[in-house]
A = this chain, B = another copy of it.
Amino acid sequence: MAADSQKKATVSSTVEDYLKVVLKIEDMKQRASTSRVARHLDVADATVTDMLRKLKKVGLLEYKPYYGATLTRKGRQMAVRILRRHRLLEMFLHQVLGYGWEQVHQEAERLEHAVSDLFISRIDALLDFPAQDPHGEAIPDARGFRQVEDDLCLSEAEPGSYSVRKVTNSDPEFLAYLDKVGLRPATRLSLQEKAPFQGPLKLLPESGREPVYLGLEASRSIFVLPLKDRPPASAPLPEGRASQGSVGRPGRGAGKE
């Protein structure tokens, strides 16, 4: 309760976008280099150099020439705030306005810069303080705390039974496809073999559908939780990490209505 001695320091939506991207890159344990940031934002490298320098000047990140950027506490705080807005908005669009999970990202991308804190707190309450967005990604809470995920990437998973935890790719085509073949957060599936170096990965979604084949790119954007019960035909489960689903609160999941 130590008062808000933090100056409000409003930033442009462009700045918000830069911070978001740096956070995303850092979360992927990569170096936020000029070119990487540029690729994510689809701007020229030179533009990023300028902007990173500017953001360093206002104390939102550290910037070492020829190296890249690192968020400061203040910068990270802002970035997480945007992330929260983005994901809450996605959930709102999905749950209240009936958007498909492939439609929410684009709209949230614009709204996250336009809505007020009041708006955010109202939809948060309306949705009963959801812990995940429609893609299964964790929604940071109002204080900026983020759930630690202990899911694993499908491209790394050993054969076994899993439950889809999140999909970290917002391409509408791809998401529409996953939806069509019945792959969504909470979908159970089993994996007969580890992802090959080349070629598609074969999955069997529960609910007796056709097997699904995914490219490497695709399998890298799907994260799963191992299911401990009902071990698969042949291979034994990995071991310890049976974190068993309840990473968040029960909530309403990500069902379509």
Binding site for B on A (CB under 8 A): 93, 96-99, 103, 106-107, 110-111, 113-116, 118-119, 122-123, 126
Contact = CB atoms under 8 A, between A and B. Distances in A.
A209 B202 CA distance: 73
A122 B107 contact: no
Nearest to A109: B114
Nearest to A110: B114
A116 B126 contact: no
A118 B119 CA distance: 19
Among A93, A97, A115, A126, the most chain B Cβ lie within 10 Å of the Cβ of A97
A115 B96 CA distance: 15
Contacts of A103: 118
Contacts of A115: 107, 110-111
B114 A99 contact: no
Contacts of A118: 99, 103, 107
B97 A122 contact: yes
A123 B97 CA distance: 7
Contacts of A106: 116
Contacts of A119: 93, 97, 107
